[in-house]
Structure 1
């Protein structure tokens, strides 16, 4: 009899334990996600998160909105300070540093082979560090040569320039009557295609600086020659440079600029591009040493300190799935990171999306080192003075190289 009573008590205990465990597992959870989205893109992502919550009733998503420029420091401070944070939108260039600091949860054990195969390989490579995957790419970016088709046609050109020599010649011909051929920016991100066109380089994955090489200096010198030839913007400095570049192009004051897919929504509000078909997109022209634009973009990542890594992965998988990326591309003209999205019938005939897709074919990854995100500060600080004639191309390159050698802790 005693044995039977004990058996009943044990069974009751196991039942209660199982019920408690089930109740605990079914407790609703809230995922804290740091967002750097803004405008229409933020609205779209929030709507997709609401759809995710409906499909996963036990999960709520709490967005913490942070300006892009301060997001990297915000995330590092939050996680190192034990604040609740499950996932966030990261610029791809930040990922190596976050990995080095031990802040990201690797997801190569969570993603299926079929899912991984649908992402652009270059996009996945950008967030793969030490053979481990740390993010799901949400959009891709690569600067292109954007041109006004009408202005080119009026000057006798049926196609954009294919080489740097052609770029110079076409810019000269289209500089007349208060209009100029090409805007040259002092933002060093837009200088990389010129450096690579002449066979130069910046930093490499093996932590070497090549900016002061003869080839790199040649690329910088070509940018300077464009400005000295009078085919670029007539302004005496680069004050409010990005906005000037955009407004001049939208108003037809310039024929060509170098910019990325993020600029398209704004450009289509301009008088010249009310007809989106007038916006031409091509790879930045090749030079004697090659061709390429920096492959950038953003990825969604999981915090190493998340208490719910599986649920957070499920969220970022949802926010980067084909349905989400198709909506982003159609509504915002962003460049998908998933290969299958380009097969959508509407996008397959979209000249803007397909134009940028071709640019990606010659895109190059930026250095996957923890200091990679910091390289542009010293580069831009010397690029502007060089373009304005205050430094020679060699002096500018030497200054950048010296700063990078300190940054990379290289022996002089």
Structure 2
């Protein structure tokens, strides 16, 4: 299927014509924006689009609601549907760019804008020396903790090391509470793997998941459960919601999660006082390593847009400092522009600043077309490791074999 998709994309590229209209004619330029936003976020983005239209009366933006999936964008383009811009997960950018579906914007972005974006955020939108998007928000996993629970049990500070995390989690265990929820989602395993000095895939297509350090991290995650430091449940049924509800209600003291969870957490019984929510960097491993995946979303332009200049004007507007500050203050998201963090309200916000510290140590996921698919075989094998159905060594070997096939390394 990939070869077929690539062929179709190539044919479309040959037949497409690029009209770099400046939008100065009498007829308004119409842009089609494939939007996967929902809820408050959708309302906020729609209000900013209306402001953009009022400031640019010759540009009309048609918003089409779609599911948050790269397939929505690919299917539309391969079906010759009109699409000008799209919200992309950063991990999709290398694949979409490799298929020839994105418009490069490195000649559009100003030097000041390039400097203002957080480097790791902008780096996520690069592929083979081209820039393909502007990041709207940043995401990174951090250690979230319940300050009151720690203080009541004699802990003045969150754990600095993985061993301290294990020790504190065991000490916090009672009949109705446990230490940390260990997620079965392999995305949430990345901080453990990097803390132990391990790796997954690299930008030069090396597979590191079966290396000794990576295996030790997987063993540590399993041992958190076996040794009573983590959740006592026999399986991972409805795991994300269970992790969130346990933390919100005080049944757990720690979890690893990202800024997207904050709005929900602040509605929980334990965090109606937002100051009780602690944000700490991921604890270090045996040799002092740490790390967290640098993720987020970006706005990208279709290679086949007839109005790339106007499309760029819109994505720049939606990723401006003003837009990001509105987004952050409403939804507790993390801006991708350095200037936004200088805002007086954000500078005094311990949640935003707590995640910002973690972002400074964040690592990009592999910037290869197959990078977004790495979790497909990772997660089911991780579940078997965490439930004791297979050893960490055996699971890592299976993941390694699947990734080597995915990357075509054994051909």
On whether the aligned pair clears a TM of 0.5, the verdict is: yes
Find the structure with the greater CA-based Rg.
1
Shift in Å, 1:24: 7.8
> Retained in 1: the 8 A contact 2:23–2:29?
no
What do the CA deviations read for 1:267-317 (whole angstroms, capped 9, x no partner)? 000000000000000111010241000000000011000000000000000
Distance 2:88 2:305 in 1: 16
SS state of the match for residue 179, structure 2? strand
Aligned to 2:275: 277
Counterpart for residue 402 of structure 1? 401
Rounded to whole Å, the distance in 2 between the matches of 1:97 and 1:298 is: 15
Classify the secondary structure of the residue corresponding to 1:25: coil
Q: Gaps (5+ residues) in structure 2? A: 1-20
Give the aligned partner of residue 247 of structure 1. 245
Provide the rounded CA distance (Å) in 2 between the counterparts of 1:156 and 1:37.
43
What CA deviation, in whole Å up to 9, does each residue of 1:42-74 have, x standing for no partner? 110000000000000111111111222xx2111
Distance 1:55 1:400, change over 3 A: same
Residue from 73, 76, 79 that aligns with 2:77 = 79
Equivalent runs, 1:13-412 vs 2, <5 Å: 25-68=25-68, 71-289=69-287, 290-411=289-410
Q: Are the equivalent residues in 1 in contact too, given 2:301–2:312 (CA < 8 A)? A: yes
Question: Helix, strand or coil for the counterpart of 1:116?
Answer: helix
Q: What is the CA-CA distance between 1:80 and the residue it aligns to?
A: 1.5
Question: How far, CA to CA, are the matches of 2:384 and 2:128 in structure 1?
Answer: 38
Segments of 5+ residues of structure 1 without an aligned counterpart are 1-20
The 8 Å contact of residues 89 and 297 in structure 2, kept in 1 or not, is answered as: yes
Q: Distance in 2 between matches of 1:249 and 1:222?
A: 21
Using structure 1 for the length normalisation, give the TM-score. 0.93
CA distance in 2, matches of 1:158, 1:327: 34
Structure-1 residue corresponding to 2:12: none
What are the Cα deviations for residues 183-215 of structure 1, in whole angstroms up to 9, with x where unaligned?
A: 000000000011111110000000111100011
CA distance in 2, matches of 1:130, 1:377: 24
Q: 1:386 to 1:50 in 2, by over 3 A?
A: same
Q: Secondary structure at the match of 1:33?
A: strand
- Residues 122 and 135, structure 2, Cα contact 8 Å, conserved in 1: yes
**Structure 1 match to 2:16:** none
CA distance in 2 between partners of 1:223 and 1:22 (Å): 55
Give distance in 2, aligned partners of 1:241 and 1:329.
27
Task: Write the deviation string for residues 138-166 of structure 1: whole angstroms up to 9, x where unpaired.
Answer: 00000110000000101111111000010
CA distance in 1 between partners of 2:231 and 2:375 (Å): 22
Q: So what's the TM-score if we normalise by structure 2?
A: 0.93
Aligned equivalents of 1:205, 1:140: Cα separation in 2: 20
Given that residues 199 and 214 in structure 2 are in contact (C-alpha distance below 8 angstroms), is that contact kept between their aligned partners in structure 1? yes
In 1: Cα distance, 2:341 partner to 2:24 partner: 42
Q: How many residues align?
A: 390
- Matched residues in 1 for 2:278 and 2:62: separation? 40
Superposed CA RMSD in Å reads 1.3
The residue aligned with 1:17 is: none
Instruction: Decide whether aligned partners of structure 1 residues 390 and 108 sit closer, same or farther in structure 2, where only a CA change above 3 A counts.
Output: same
Shift of 1:25: 2.0
Q: Distance in 1 between matches of 2:369 and 2:70?
A: 13
Provide the rounded CA distance (Å) in 2 between the counterparts of 1:97 and 1:80.
15
Q: Distance in 1 between matches of 2:316 and 2:129?
A: 20
Q: Give the aligned partner of residue 8 of structure 2.
A: none
- Provide the rounded CA distance (Å) in 1 between the counterparts of 2:31 and 2:243: 40
Deviates more, 1:308-317 or 1:75-84: 75-84
Q: Distance in 2 between matches of 1:361 and 1:391?
A: 35
Deviation at 1:230, TM superposition (A): 1.1
Q: Structure 2 vs 1, CA of residues 127 and 23 (structure 1 numbering), >3 Å: closer, same or farther?
A: closer
